[in-house]
Amino acid sequence: MHANVLSSQPASLSPWLQTRPLTNARLRLFCFPFAGGSVASFMPWFTALAPDIQLCAIQLPGRGARFGEPPVHDFATLIEQLGTVIASQGDRPYAFFGHSLGALVAFELAHHCVRRGLPQPRHLFVSASGAPRHRVATPRYDLMSDAELLIKLRDYAGTPPEVLANQELMALLLPVIRADFALLGHYRYQPRPRLDIPMSVLAGRADAHVGLETLRDWQTETKAGCQLHRFEGGHFFAFEQADAVLELVKRKLATVL
């Protein structure tokens, strides 16, 4: 699909998007969740952004209102599906924010837009993720036993202990979490010409899962400037320090509006 066939389908009509109508919005911010995450993580953000920024949280299959749909296991398939969604929202400028798995999705989706001749994001926010060139041997968490996977989830400290202890609830959640980890496991970085999109790299100072050097190497993926911003907190700092993160997002987007 190319730029001359972009449509402007209302975001509310797409099962992929959770948003609120803003008739005066000048820019859309598409937000991509972490592994096992959903639009729920971004719900507090809707009222915190400037009124000229329309937040569009991405809802992947298998969760929320899409619980009955099978989750996506293949990274390339997901990017193709999301590319169609982004192309349908081509009536105004946009930016991407992705956290952890979502950062890789946002990065690859930006490259997809370049390949297809679509309008590019005005800004790319990558959060809690090292540069993709370092993902040469991603651990296959999706192949772990349930007990091993629960230990890993506790280690990331993003799932409330009471949820992890609820066996019936985890029986519903684990298939989606496995599917998302399979996406990571199947991901293969491909060197390409650098993006021409300004990039902000966000990281938690106490995030033991993302090394500082891998964060700095995001600068090799764009020729339009890349800045690293560190916040207090661990892997899920973006939601623990939402006010500070959103202040940065608003400041950066003000420069491209």
> What are the residue ranges spanned by the domains of the chain?
3-254
Active site residues: 100
In this predicted structure, what is the pLDDT of residue 5?
31
In this predicted structure, what is the pLDDT of residue 12?
52
DSSP assignment of 214-238 equals HHHGGGGGBSS-EEEEEESSSTTHH
With vertex at residue 79, the alpha carbon angle to CA 47 and CA 106, rounded to the nearest 5 degrees, is 45
Sheet holding 17-19, edge to edge: 17-19, 53-58, 27-32, 94-99, 124-127, 199-204, 226-231
Under the banding of pLDDT at 50, 70 and 90, the label for residue 83 is very high
- Sequence-ordered list of residues with C-beta below 8 angstroms from that of 9, at least 6 positions apart, any chain: 88, 89
d(CA 179, CA 165): 21
Residue 199 bridge partners (DSSP): 124, 226
Residue 98 bridge partners (DSSP): 32, 126
CATH topology of domain 3-254: Rossmann fold (3.40.50)
pLDDT of 250 above 70: yes
In this predicted structure, what is the pLDDT of residue 90?
79
* Burial annotation 75-99 (CB, 10 A radius, 16+ → b, else e): beebbeebbebbbbbbeebbbbbbb
HSE (side-chain half, CA atoms, 13 Å) at 107: 31
Share of the chain above pLDDT 90, in %: 67
- Residue 106, SS3 per DSSP: helix
Average pLDDT of the residues in 190-208: 97
CA nearest to 60, candidates 75, 47, 46: 75
pLDDT of 8 above 80: no
Contact 175, 64 (CB under 8 A): no
d(CA 119, CA 163): 41
Averaged confidence pLDDT in the chain: 90
- Residue 153, SS3 per DSSP: helix
With vertex at residue 210, the alpha carbon angle to CA 209 and CA 215, rounded to the nearest 5 degrees, is 175
Name which residue leads in pLDDT, 29 or 163.
Answer: 29
Name which residue leads in pLDDT, 135 or 252.
Answer: 252
Tens-digit pLDDT profile for residues 13-67: 689 999 988 878 999 999 999 998 999 999 999 989 988 999 999 999 999 899 9
Written as one letter, the residue type at 1 is: M
d(CA 162, CA 153): 13
pTM, two decimals, is 0.90
d(CA 251, CA 254): 5
Q: Which has the minimum average pLDDT: 25-29, 99-103, 171-175, 233-237?
A: 171-175
